[in-house]
Chain A
Amino acid sequence: MNDMNKTKEELISELEALRRQIAELKDAGFEHQQEKVDGRQAFIEIEKRYEQLLSAEARLIQAEKMASLGVLSAGVAHEIKNPLAIILQGIEVLEISSLTADAIDVLAMMKDAVFRASKITKDMLTFSRESTLTHEEVDLSGIIDETFSFVDHIFSLKQIRIARSLMPDLPKVSVDPNQMKQVFINLLTNAAEAMPEGGTITVAAESTHNIQNRKIIRILITDTGHGISAEDRQRVFDPFYTTRKKSGGTGLGLSVVKGIIEKHEGEIKIENEAGGGTRVIIELPCYVRETKQEAAE
């Protein structure tokens, strides 16, 4: 279970347990001193637990912030959509009036802005909603290919090439196909935005085991863009954090992606490629194949 799925009560009880452990270790340290045994080990242990305590506290604060933000986003998104609908209707009434060419251009720009704002509200709602996953046993390479066909035309206009390197016969996974498509669309779009002058996005996938020896599919999405700074890398999954404000980034794309991956009990991280560019690494558990194998055994 990841921290976002833990309830506030669970995180608080984790904090209390850590505080108890610290107190016990302190007592143990004093006993060691009284017995003239080196107490260093006990103090190292105290420090370790204290760090865990601070980290758990930070996660609790973050979980509370995310919960509040979710409620707020949903409310704001809906309230904004109604006035946007009125603006859109107004623009469309004017569009069928007699207008100068300049006025028609202005209306087109306004309409674009309405659709952009509408997309932001939709992203906010997706981000805030605890949507139920509809699990299906699917071939992930099929989902990735569908996503390619979705972005292919836009990418070719921007001189962006997609290189596909998917291991043949990838095991099927149990995922929500629509949500996974959203993950790939968001990540491919992000990679493309990092390469304004064109480049290559490589999508690779392999079946392997993670450090807990759990069977997973690892997906790597690598671009040849400008890479990511250390500061951005730390905050890139935070909602509303964007490095692309000028080009209309909402800062929700990667938050949505992370939320979806975590709901699938997967993991995601971002790192810099050695030769420049950014690499996103996703690990998804292979429930289906394991279940079948276990059943066969």
Chain B
Amino acid sequence: MKKKILLVDDEKNFCTLLKMNLEKRGPFEVLTTSNPQEVLKLAKANKPDLILLDILMPEMDGMTLAAALKGDEDTKQIMIAFLTALVNEEDVRDMKGKTGANYFFSKLGTTEELMKAISGILL
């Protein structure tokens, strides 16, 4: 059975391409949005197994979004992973502590590496 992932990133092209890669290479169904305001609604409606969340987004940052998801009864159990271009892992670890996000992945890793990490969590 395919695992459902909600990918949130303000870069629409990144969403499109990563969705193609994950769906073609692994047992994943990927929903995407570049609008952080939609995330709570989409998460409630689709109950993804994992939310991949960008951190620096213009409308709402990933930290705020993760805190909102963890604060909502309907979405607090969903696994959250930051997928970010930020390089300083220490900063991101602090963010995870504050927001309750579970994992941190680099945007500049290969899809194989990302899939391995996701599979370690979900499969």
Contact = CB atoms under 8 A, between A and B. Distances in A.
Interface in B77-104: 85-88, 90
Given A89-B17, A89-B21, A93-B20, A84 B108 contact: yes
B56 interface: yes
Contact of A85 (B25, B85, B88, B90): B85
A88 B108 contact: yes
Given A81-B85, A121-B87, A125-B87, A86 B111 contact: no
Given A78-B56, A82-B11, A89-B111, A96 B87 contact: no
Given A78-B86, A82-B85, A92 B21 contact: yes
Nearest to B17: A89
Contacts of B17: 86, 89-90, 92-93
A77 interface: yes
Contacts of A26: none
Interface string A85-124: 1101110110010000000000000000011001001100
Bin chain B's interface residue count: 10 to 19
Interface in B6-59: 11, 13-14, 17-18, 20-21, 24-25, 56
A233 interface: no
B84 to A, nearest CB: 9
A129 interface: yes
B93 to A, nearest CB: 13
Contacts of A121: 87
B87 A81 contact: yes
14 contacts: A81-B85, A81-B107, A82-B11, A85-B85, A89-B20, A90-B17, A92-B110, A92-B111, A96-B21, A114-B108, A118-B108, A125-B87, A129-B88, A131-B88
Interface of A: 77-78, 81-82, 84-86, 88-90, 92-93, 96, 114-115, 118, 121-122, 125-126, 129, 131
Interface of B: 11, 13-14, 17-18, 20-21, 24-25, 56, 85-88, 90, 107-108, 110-111
Can you list the 5 inter-chain pairs with the closest CB atoms, starting with the nearest? A89-B17, A81-B85, A85-B107, A118-B108, A125-B87
Given A85-B11, A89-B111, 4 more contacts: A85-B85, A89-B20, A96-B25, A115-B108
